[in-house]
Amino acid sequence: MMETSSTSEQTLRLCDTHSHISFKQFDHDRERIISQLKNGELEFLIEIGIDLETSKKVVELASKHENIFAAIGIHPHESNDTPSNYTEEMGILAEYKTVVAIGEIGLDYYRNLSPKEIQKRVFREQLFLSRELKLPVVVHVRDAYDDAYEIIKEFKGELHGVIHAFSGTIADAKRFVDLGFKLGIGGPLTYPKNNELREIVRHFSLVHFLSETDCPYLPPQKYRGKRNEPAYVRFVIELISELKGISASSCSTILCKNAIDLFKLQI
């Protein structure tokens, strides 16, 4: 029997490995998103912190709801305002069983909201913490791929994780894949001018990718200018499947398995 498009939609496993539904943009309909997890429309979310305050919020959210998992970390934009004992506080938060990663951490030289040297110090400190806690990392990189690679390379063989919202070159992709890192692919894959990212998806094996949204940011082309949300990961998965020449159902299953294996999710 030929599979209809509606059946195909029902068989997609929608896994968003980078969401921010704890942000204020979801204050009016957060429960609707959570209901999508309860009814099986969404399989699971990795809810991401960007500073100590939001890290506490994501842990609280994940602790209250099944199939929401937490990542705790200091985003590079926030690294200049971090208290001296932040790694101790993160270590305490990491004791919650719903915490599956350290992130969102990394380097951002595009906006440079924190001095580069402080960004690098805080990034490296959190990589040390990740190694100590044996947790993968969720890494934000913008206009800083060389420095991010050199710092992560210091931990070669000791750390794994994902380069979130990957926007580098195919050469950058190879360097991080060779270090054992996944590449996070979200809405920008669908942007008409983003040919290089589509070529990267074609070039590397599907085992190297994770599906994500970064909601409320980076919506797929269909929703440009509007708030992104976890269910829109469907459009990313469908385009990845097209680029790889496999069914969307099979693609979604592989992408979810990649995340389950990386974050050691108990689902």
How far apart CA 50 and CA 20 sit, in angstroms, is 9
CATH of 11-263 among 3.30.70.1250, 2.40.37.10, 1.10.10.10, 3.20.20.140:
3.20.20.140
Q: How confident is the model at residue 1 (pLDDT cuts 50, 70, 90)?
A: very low
What Cα–Cα distance (Å) separates residue 76 from each residue in 5, 29, 104, 163, 265? Answer: 42, 28, 8, 14, 26
- The predicted model gives 160-185 an average pLDDT of 98
- The predicted model gives 32-45 an average pLDDT of 97
> Could you read off the pLDDT of 183-204 as tens digits, one per residue?
999 999 999 999 999 999 999 9
User: What are the residue ranges of helices labelled H in 143-225?
Assistant: 145-153, 170-178, 195-203
80-87 LR contacts (CB < 8 Å, sep 24+): 80/113, 80/114, 80/115, 80/118, 81/51, 81/114, 82/51, 82/52, 82/122, 83/52, 86/52, 87/125, 87/126, 87/129
User: Domain segments of the chain: what residues?
Assistant: 11-263
> Quick one: DSSP state of residue 173?
H
Burial class (CB in 10 A: 0-12, 13-18, 19+), 122: buried
Token pair 């926030």 is found at 78
- The predicted model gives 224-250 an average pLDDT of 98
> Quick one: DSSP state of residue 215?
B
**pTM (predicted TM-score):** 0.95
Decide if pLDDT at 222 tops 80: yes
Q: How confident is the model at residue 11 (pLDDT cuts 50, 70, 90)?
A: confident
> Could you read off the pLDDT of 89-138 as tens digits, one per residue?
999 999 999 999 999 999 999 998 999 999 999 999 999 999 999 999 99
What is the structure's pLDDT at 3?
A: 36
Share of the chain above pLDDT 90, in %: 95
Q: Who's near 39: CB < 8 A, 6+ residues apart? A: none
What is the structure's pLDDT at 8?
A: 43
Selection from 248, 197, 249 nearest residue 218 by Cα: 197
- The predicted model gives 212-238 an average pLDDT of 98
Residue type, 59: V
